[in-house]
Amino acid sequence: MKSTWGERIFYRINYVFLFLLALSCLAPMLHVLSLSLSDQTSVMSGIVGIWPKGFTLSTYEEIIKGTNILTGLKNSIIITAIGTSLNMLFTITAAYPLSRSIFLFRRGWSLVIIFTMLFGGGMIPMFILIKSLGLINTYWALWLPGVISAYNLLVLKSFFESIPEELVEAARIDGCQEWRLLVSLFLPLSMPALAALSLFYGVAHWNNFNGVLFYITDATKQNLSVMVQQMIANQQLLNELTMFGNEEVSHMTSEGLKAAAIFIMLIPMLVVYVFLQKYFVKGVMIGSVKG
């Protein structure tokens, strides 16, 4: 069907608006990257925009050699990988029975889950609970309290319900039991939803700041979010680097070092998103169509 003159005008205006909106989101990230790749003279003079001036990788080299940022990176990867695996395991095993009509009292359990989205104990009761369980300074304090997100559980439950019942009946005729149905039928058909929810969980673990700050007291176990915040707030990064007596490092600007630390924290999630973005919208939208 041919577009009308008014529709073409609307589409062009919409494209321009969306381009400017995307640019407003991308420009700050490009500026941070440019600061981290520019020499100290250009950074100090304030001429760095979205393109590097005096390209150099010395900032990244010195921040890796002179700080414990690689330890924070390793901790973030451990927290995110194991945490996301636990999240998906428990979310899948909870969503599947709730999506089956033969599961007794599934409506009541669904209401209980929705109740947890509206009301919570709060920060202080949660801290007392974690401390009484002996989980302080362990990663279990980060994994167990949020092992299932009620929102993600309902999304996956809705996705499972959208799978045609005819496929389920055909699998039952072939002799499939519940576990075989879940592994061989539901999970392969739910890859878009699983990828999208894995991204939700992964980003939450990677950016976890309050949980690490409250429950992890050992500095060697802290993740990148806390380490980078402390570096930015306390100038710790610049002080550690200048202790080496390297003349080149001592003349580096704190802005360039902070930018390098921030971008090191951003890179893993950007890489993961590139591979999962094609599932992102599809997974969430399909899972939310059926109520």
Per-residue pLDDT for 248 more than 60? no
Phi, psi of 191, deg, nearest 5: -55, -40
Q: Which amino acid is at 151?
A: Y
Helix (H) and strand (E) counts for the chain?
A: 17, 0
The answer to whether the beta carbons of residues 235 and 169 sit under 8 Å apart is no
**Joined tokens for residue 242:** 């200048």
Q: What's residue 237's pLDDT?
A: 52
Burial (CB < 10 A; 0-12, 13-18, 19+), residue 83, is buried
Q: What's residue 33's pLDDT?
A: 86
Question: Measured between alpha carbons, how far is 221 from 226 in angstroms, rounded to an integer?
Answer: 10
Cβ atoms within 10 A of the Cβ of 287, count? 25
Q: What's residue 130's pLDDT?
A: 93
Could you tell me which residue, 120 or 112, shows the higher pLDDT? 112
**Joined tokens for residue 227:** 């380490």
Question: Which range, 37-46, 54-63, 164-173, 243-252, has the best average confidence (pLDDT)?
Answer: 164-173
Alpha helices for 207-223 (secondary structure H): 210-215
Nearest to 214 by CA among 89, 125, 113, 86: 125
Looking at the chain, the whole-number percentage of residues with pLDDT higher than 90 is: 28
CA 60 to the chain's CA centroid? 23
Q: What letter does residue 219 receive in the DSSP assignment?
A: G
Task: Give kind and range of the element (H or E) at residue 26.
Answer: helix 5-37
Name the band, by pLDDT with cuts 50, 70 and 90, for residue 289: very low
pLDDT tens-place string over residues 262-283: 888 888 888 888 777 776 655 5
Per-residue pLDDT for 16 more than 90? yes
pLDDT tens-place string over residues 134-153: 999 999 999 999 899 999 99
**Joined tokens for residue 68:** 């414990």
Per-residue pLDDT for 129 more than 80? yes
**How does the average pLDDT of the chain come out, rounded?**
83
The answer to whether the beta carbons of residues 201 and 152 sit under 8 Å apart is yes
Task: Give pTM, 2 decimals.
Answer: 0.81
- CA contacts within 13 A on the Cβ side of 128: 5
pLDDT tens-place string over residues 180-218: 888 888 998 888 889 889 989 999 999 999 999 999 988
Name the band, by pLDDT with cuts 50, 70 and 90, for residue 174: confident
Name the band, by pLDDT with cuts 50, 70 and 90, for residue 1: low
The structural domains of the chain, ordered by start, are: 1-56 (no CATH), 58-291 (1.10.3720.10)
Q: What's residue 67's pLDDT?
A: 76
Look at residue 291 and give its three-state secondary structure.
coil
Q: What's residue 31's pLDDT?
A: 86
